[in-house]
């Protein structure tokens, strides 16, 4: 007469709920994106990313020490390149004393144990705001790949532990792996943005780095000829398997929340760690709704991060890393 199974027994108290909890987030799950700018004593809030900042190198050093003390042990560096240094060739990309190269050293100097991953992509350095060299309205694949391989070596020389190519050119993982091996950087890893979708959720990030495609004749207005169509699923698996074959140590799905079906599918399919990037637009949505009093910031944040891990993420790149870890304490 009574229900055959009473599933609610496992929900009756906080103690039993925590005993049977399947997914638990911890500081070890996170990769913290950091935005670096030239200058001194700069900590400027990013307009479209409330509570997130661009930091000059001195403040970057302070920040990584704070992260380390909170148990956050991995950062992903992005640089905001001054307009005067942008071009369509990549001269500044390879500057051994460039902002990224100095940022890597600054982090290692302030916090030797911190794992340093670096963004390997041309867009912050591109006068056209593209991840590749532009010619006659097209993004050149092989020329860009060569540049990314040299860029990776430059980051490795500065002390990067992992390079993280985020561009979606074909064949760049193999080119980067070969270049690193040739230069003796056998232990420098590659986290590939293997399934990166052309997403409207990157908007606030492009504001943070001033890296959006420019509106000039003969320059593509979007990144749809290299980033993936959000309608596609099989393509994500193909891209990911190819990058693993070419030498990726870690693969990634980006963005996060709208793509958790892809995350689960890839997690089931491959045997390397899978990272998920919860991107700037996802962050901005929570901040904006919380500011209006429409959503509970902390509750929604933890629910989203836990869902990303439940879907299969082994690593979560998130602007919420600090907020989440603070809450877990
Ligand atoms: N390579 C980084 C991006 O393209 C965007 C990240 C974000 O929107 O947070
Ligand atoms: Mg690819």
State in words which class domain 23-328 has: alpha beta
Beta strands in 13-165 (DSSP E): 30-36, 43-46, 49-55, 74-79, 115-120, 133-135, 138-140, 162-165
Please tell me if the CB atom of residue 111 comes closer than 6 angstroms to any atom of ligand 1. Answer: no
Take atom 3 of ligand 1 and give the residue whose Cα is closest.
202
Look at residue 108 in the predicted model and tell me its pLDDT.
Answer: 98
| Residue at token pair 């380390």 | 68
Per-position DSSP letters for 226-258, written without gaps between them: TSBPTT-SHHHHHHHHHHHHHT-SEEEEESSGG
196 part of the active site: yes
Please tell me if the CB atom of residue 278 comes closer than 6 angstroms to any atom of ligand 1. Answer: no
Residue-range domain boundaries for the chain? 23-328
Give the tens place of pLDDT for each residue, 75-126: 999 999 999 999 999 999 999 999 999 999 999 999 999 999 999 999 999 9
Look at residue 329 in the predicted model and tell me its pLDDT.
Answer: 74
Please tell me if the CB atom of residue 185 comes closer than 6 angstroms to any atom of ligand 1. Answer: no
Look at residue 169 in the predicted model and tell me its pLDDT.
Answer: 97
Q: What is the DSSP letter of 213?
A: P
Take atom 2 of ligand 1 and give the residue whose Cα is closest.
166
What ipTM did this prediction achieve? 0.95
- The ligand 1 atom at the shortest distance from the C-alpha of residue 281 is 8
Has 246 been labeled as part of a binding site?
no
What percent of the chain has a predicted confidence (pLDDT) above 90? 97
What's the longest Cα–Cα distance across the chain? 78
Q: How many CB atoms lie within 10 A of CB 289?
A: 14
Per-residue pLDDT band at 221 (split at 50, 70, 90): very high
Ligand nearest, relative to CA of residue 248: 2
Beta-bridge partner residues of 140: 133
Please tell me if the CB atom of residue 202 comes closer than 6 angstroms to any atom of ligand 1. Answer: yes
CA of 196 to the centre of ligand 2 (A): 9
pTM of the predicted model as reported, rounded to 2 decimal places: 0.97
């Amino acid at each position: 007469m009574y229900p055959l199974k009473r599933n609610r027994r496992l929900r009756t108290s906080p103690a039993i709920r925590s005993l049977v909890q399947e997914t638990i987030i911890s500081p070890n799950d996170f990769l913290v994106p950091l935005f670096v700018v030239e200058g001194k004593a700069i900590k400027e809030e990013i307009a479209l990313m409330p509570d997130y900042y661009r930091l000059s190198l001195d403040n970057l050093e302070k920040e990584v020490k704070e992260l380390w003390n909170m148990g956050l042990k991995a950062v992903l560096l992005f640089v905001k390149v001054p307009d005067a240094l942008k071009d369509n060739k990549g001269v500044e990309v390879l500057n051994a004393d460039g902002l990224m190269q100095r940022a890597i050293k600054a982090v290692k100097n302030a916090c030797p144990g911190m794992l340093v991953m670096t963004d390997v992509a041309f867009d912050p350095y591109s006068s056209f705001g593209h991840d590749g060299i532009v010619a006659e309205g097209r993004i050149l694949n092989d020329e860009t790949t060569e540049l990314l391989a040299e860029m990776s070596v430059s980051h490795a020389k500065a002390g990067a532990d992992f390079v993280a190519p985020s561009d979606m050119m074909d064949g760049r993982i193999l080119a980067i792996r070969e270049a690193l091996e040739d230069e003796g950087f056998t232990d420098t890893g590659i986290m590939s943005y293997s399934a990166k979708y052309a997403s409207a959720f990157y908007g606030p990030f492009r504001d943070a780095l001033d890296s959006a495609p420019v509106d000039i004749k003969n320059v593509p207005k979007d990144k749809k000829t290299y980033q993936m169509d959000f309608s596609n699923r099989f393509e994500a698996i193909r891209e990911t398997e190819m990058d693993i074959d070419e030498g990726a140590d870690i693969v990634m799905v980006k963005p996060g929340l709208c793509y958790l079906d892809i995350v689960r599918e890839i997690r089931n399919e491959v045997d390397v760690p899978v990272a998920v990037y919860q991107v700037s637009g996802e962050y901005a949505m929570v901040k904006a709704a919380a500011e209006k009093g429409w959503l509970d910031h902390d509750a929604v944040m933890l629910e989203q991060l836990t869902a990303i891990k439940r879907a299969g993420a082994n690593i979560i790149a998130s602007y919420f890393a600090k907020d989440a870890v603070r809450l877990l304490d």
